[in-house]
């Protein structure tokens, strides 16, 4: 029986659809939404601003708030409560590392950067990586 489901979210429509799928298909499960804020690197320009923050975790929480707030709205619209967590680092690695604590992962097929071919080539598709490496069943929502 699936009692705990991890739903990674960014600000993409596919991620929101994944949350909706999890809420509808696992009505008795505890749903946890994870938003991963990337750490600064040569290939993640948007995350460089985090390195300038005095408190990295606080800065990550601030960046994650719009996604977390949207996830709460989706859950509230369906009369459900969700848990939320913010991760810092590479999204696929963060999801895979947390997957052991859940019975399943439900993830959108493409994240916010799916149209950028260079991003996909350099970083890889998060959903594909998670589906190949997670220790629990993974549902990819299109």
How many independent structural domains does the chain possess? 1
> pLDDT digits over 10-60, tens only?
999 999 999 999 999 999 999 999 999 986 555 555 554 555 556 888 989
The string of DSSP codes covering the chain is ---EEEEE--SSHHHHHHHHHHHHH-TTSEEEEEEEEPPP-TT-GGGGGGGG-SSHHHHHHHHHHHHHHHHHHHHHHTT---EEEEEES-HHHHHHHHHTTSSEEEEESS-TTTT-HHHHHHH--HHHHHHHH-SS-EEEE-
* Cα 59 from Cα 61, distance rounded (Å): 5
Residue 80's domain comprises: 4-141
Q: Check residue 110 and give its pLDDT.
A: 75
CATH code assigned at 98: 3.40.50.620
Q: Is-contact 16 114, C-beta < 8 A? A: no
> pLDDT digits over 78-130, tens only?
999 999 999 999 999 999 999 999 999 999 997 655 455 544 444 458 999 99
Region of 69 (left: φ > 0; alpha: ψ -120 to 50; beta: rest) is alpha
């Amino acid at each position: 029986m699936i009692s705990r489901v991890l739903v990674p979210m960014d600000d993409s429509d596919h991620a929101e659809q994944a949350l909706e799928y999890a809420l509808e298909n696992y009505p008795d499960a505890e749903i946890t939404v994870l938003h991963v804020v990337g750490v600064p690197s040569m290939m993640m320009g948007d995350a460089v601003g985090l390195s300038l923050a005095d408190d990295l975790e606080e800065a990550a929480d601030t960046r994650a708030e719009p996604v977390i707030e949207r996830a709460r709205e989706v859950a509230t619209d369906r009369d459900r409560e969700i848990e939320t967590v913010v991760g810092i680092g590479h999204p696929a690695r963060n999801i895979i590392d947390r997957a052991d604590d859940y019975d399943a992962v439900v993830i959108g097929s493409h994240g916010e950067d799916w149209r950028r071919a260079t991003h996909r080539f350099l970083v890889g598709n998060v959903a594909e990586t998670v589906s190949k490496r997670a220790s629990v069943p993974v549902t990819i929502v299109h």
